[in-house]
Amino acid sequence: MPHVKEFGDDVMKTAEEALGLSAERMTEFREAATLLSKKKAKHSNFLDFVGELYQPDMISAYRKEAELKAQGKKIGEQALLLSNLIVTLD
């Protein structure tokens, strides 16, 4: 609130409204925090949540890799080439 205005009833009313909204939001925040503090989370769920917040690309790649592994595909290994299987005898 700028301090160049004369302090009067209208300024006082504006300040009270602003403080009231702030108190209302703090009450909402407190209620939400209390609710969340009572919830239990698995460690893996927590890691997923934090990963989504801070490193969403890494989590996406990890999930894709896990899906491929579940399908029986090998990850990070180069496929054997037929030319590597041919042994020449001298």
| Percent of the chain scoring above 70 in pLDDT | 76
Q: Residue 84 pLDDT > 70, yes or no?
A: no
- Please give the model's pTM, rounded to 2 decimal places: 0.35
**Amino acid at position 23, single letter:** A
- 9-53: pLDDT as tens digits: 787 778 777 777 777 888 888 898 898 889 888 888 888 888 888
Q: Where are the domains of the chain?
A: 1-39, 40-71
